[in-house]
Amino acid sequence: MEQIPNQEIELLHQPFIGLSSPLKSNKETELVIKIGRIPHPMETNHYIEWIEIFQDGKLIQKREFDPSLDREAITFLVINPQENFNFQIKAKCNLHGIWSKTISQQDLKDLEIIQ
């Protein structure tokens, strides 16, 4: 198995959150949740098993992945940017364990548009 340099471990595993389109007032928008700023491998020996999204400590979405079918660990969540929220995103790599990131309404203005 190929060794991953330490500086790339976080870039491959930390949930990366963006928007599917620019924010518009009073319109729902879609969060794009990808695992890794550098896309995480989806190979039979190294892959993301699942992504979980929690709101106020409750699991609201779970997406499981199959490395033989899924080319990328990605999921989406429709939100209302006017509502106050706090999400915790967790992802599990079969080799490197669980990685987590939190996002709140205040973070929306800093998110990139992800195509």
Please tell me the total count of domains within the chain: 1
Tens-digit pLDDT profile for residues 17-34: 999 999 887 889 999 999
CA-to-CA dists, residue 92 to 13, 22, 44, 59, angstroms = 9, 29, 14, 15
First to last CA, the chain: 31
Question: Does residue 1 lie in a domain region?
Answer: no
Q: Does any domain span residue 64?
A: yes
For residue 25, being part of any structural domain is answered with yes
Residue 68 lies in a domain: yes
The model's pTM: 0.90
Is 29 part of any domain? Answer: yes
Q: Is residue 46 part of a domain?
A: yes
What's the CATH code of the domain at 27?
Answer: 2.60.40.730
For residue 112, the one-letter residue type is: E
In a domain, 115, yes or no: no
Contact 102, 86 (CB under 8 A): yes
Range of the domain at 29: 6-110
Instruction: Indicate the helix (H) or strand (E) that contains 99.
Output: strand 97-104
Give tens-digit pLDDT for 53-95: 999 899 999 999 999 999 999 999 999 988 889 999 999 999 9
CA distance 105 to 17: 13
Strand partners, 91: 51, 99
Q: What angle do CA 28, 17, 26 make, to 5 degrees?
A: 15
The answer to whether residue 100 sits within a structural domain is yes
